[in-house]
């Protein structure tokens, strides 16, 4: 919470565009989402000759080409190319990004996902931030676009906690998380740290593992762009099964991180929620007083509320806080299950099964 408050909000100034960007979008069977993403690209308020889009097809079996062909016809001035990913390792997404970087003609690499929607001034804000700061990587905010359903509000609160923690960690100069759906880095810096070498045996983590490597070499040149106008919207999981697989995948990559502070934060979250579940079991067995578990729960409830409310306010998603009370009862069981499952279970991602 202290770090969240200390991290300054960035308000871009109107300046002449200076930086060129290569936007990389790995995708697999995302035909239903590509039209939204591509439409948002067509609305970018940035000189079209100063950015390019490289779409990396990772063995899709759907009719994605229709959406891309339509975009090309309607946006003749935008540079866009589709390349094929050739899977060689356990991490097809990292391979897709590396393949695109080899073809990138510009110095700044931006990654996003096929199920995202970018804001109109996305590149303008990033360009303004780069002009004012000496950086090698810029981490930016990501939000869920949700309907009024409890499952969506529940995972939105969970996601907001991750976004708030990410901002807070940057605010205290101990960053350990980022999101590849809205990530920018210098191509030369990527090459300096040998890209994803050393973690290509882990399916995901094209974001946090790269950030770890850059933090070691450029400790003061990895920054967070706290700007409402830079938020990239993405879609939550449509059902509980998909949500569990996604969170197991996230937990698995966090378990492989070398960031000690990040591990301590993760351990604190796990121990706190596990302790709450244990207290409930003891109370049901009449081993301890219900007053004890009530006091512990209220302390946790109020501390979590402050950070979540601050984060929800930044993202203008205070409506999800209406589900906070019931979500806070469910979350300890959910998070403890995900933590244990990440050690023993594999997960499914983009139609592929990945073993532990």
**Mean pLDDT estimate for the chain:** 92
| Tokens coding 283 | 């109370």
Question: Cα–Cα distance between 110 and 22 in angstroms, integer?
Answer: 6
pLDDT value, residue 25 = 97
pLDDT value, residue 347 = 72
**Cβ–Cβ under 8 Å, residues 213 and 101:** no
The pLDDT tens digits of the residues spanning 187-223 come to 999 999 999 888 766 767 789 999 999 999 999 999 9
Give the residues of the chain that fall short of pLDDT 70.
89, 200-201, 203, 255, 349-356
Question: Cα–Cα distance between 284 and 282 in angstroms, integer?
Answer: 5
| Tokens coding 224 | 């967070």
**Cβ–Cβ under 8 Å, residues 38 and 68:** yes
pLDDT value, residue 281 = 93
Smallest CA-to-CA distance from 110 within 33, 5, 180, 176 is with 180
pLDDT value, residue 112 = 97
**Cβ–Cβ under 8 Å, residues 144 and 232:** no
Structural domains in the chain, CATH included, are: 2-150+166-239 (3.90.550.10)
pLDDT value, residue 203 = 67
Question: Cα–Cα distance between 293 and 299 in angstroms, integer?
Answer: 10
Q: How far apart are the first and last CA of the chain?
A: 34
Question: Cα–Cα distance between 161 and 269 in angstroms, integer?
Answer: 11
CA dihedral 270, 242, 315, 224 (to 10 degrees): 70
Question: Cα–Cα distance between 47 and 78 in angstroms, integer?
Answer: 9
Question: Cα–Cα distance between 33 and 27 in angstroms, integer?
Answer: 10
């Amino acid at each position: 919470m202290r770090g969240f408050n200390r991290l300054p909000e960035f308000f871009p100034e109107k300046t002449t565009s200076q930086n060129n960007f290569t936007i990389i979008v790995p995708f697999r069977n995302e035909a239903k989402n590509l039209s939204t993403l591509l439409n948002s690209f067509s609305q970018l308020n940035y000189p079209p000759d100063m950015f390019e889009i490289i779409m990396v097809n990772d063995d899709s079996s759907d009719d994605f080409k229709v959406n891309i062909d339509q975009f090309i016809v309607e946006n003749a001035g935008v540079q866009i190319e589709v390349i094929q990913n050739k899977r060689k390792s356990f991490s097809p997404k990292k391979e897709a990004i590396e393949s695109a970087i080899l073809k990138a003609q510009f110095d700044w690499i931006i990654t996003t996902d096929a199920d995202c929607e970018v804001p109109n001034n996305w590149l303008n804000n990033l360009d303004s931030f780069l002009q004012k700061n000496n950086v090698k990587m810029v981490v930016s905010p990501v939000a869920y676009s949700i309907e009024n359903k409890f499952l969506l509000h529940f995972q939105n609160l969970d996601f907001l906690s991750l976004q708030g923690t990410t901002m807070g960690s940057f605010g205290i100069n101990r960053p350990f998380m980022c999101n590849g759906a809205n990530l920018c880095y210098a191509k030369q810096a990527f090459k300096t740290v040998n890209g994803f070498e050393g973690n290509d045996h882990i399916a995901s983590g094209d974001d946090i593992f790269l950030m770890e490597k850059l933090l070691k070499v450029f400790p003061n040149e990895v920054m967070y762009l706290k700007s409402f106008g830079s938020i990239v919207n993405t879609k939550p999981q449509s059902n509980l099964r998909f949500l569990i697989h996604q969170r197991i995948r996230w937990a698995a990559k966090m378990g492989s991180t070398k960031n000690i502070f990040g591990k301590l934060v993760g351990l604190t979250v796990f121990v706190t929620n596990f302790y709450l579940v244990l207290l409930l079991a003891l109370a049901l067995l009449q081993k301890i007083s219900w007053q004890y578990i009530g006091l512990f729960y209220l302390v946790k409830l109020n501390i979590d509320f402050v950070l979540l409310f601050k984060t929800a306010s930044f993202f203008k998603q205070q409506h999800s806080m209406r589900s906070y009370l019931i979500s806070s009862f469910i979350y300890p069981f959910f998070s403890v299950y995900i933590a244990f499952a990440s050690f023993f279970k594999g997960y499914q991602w983009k139609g592929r099964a990945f073993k532990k």
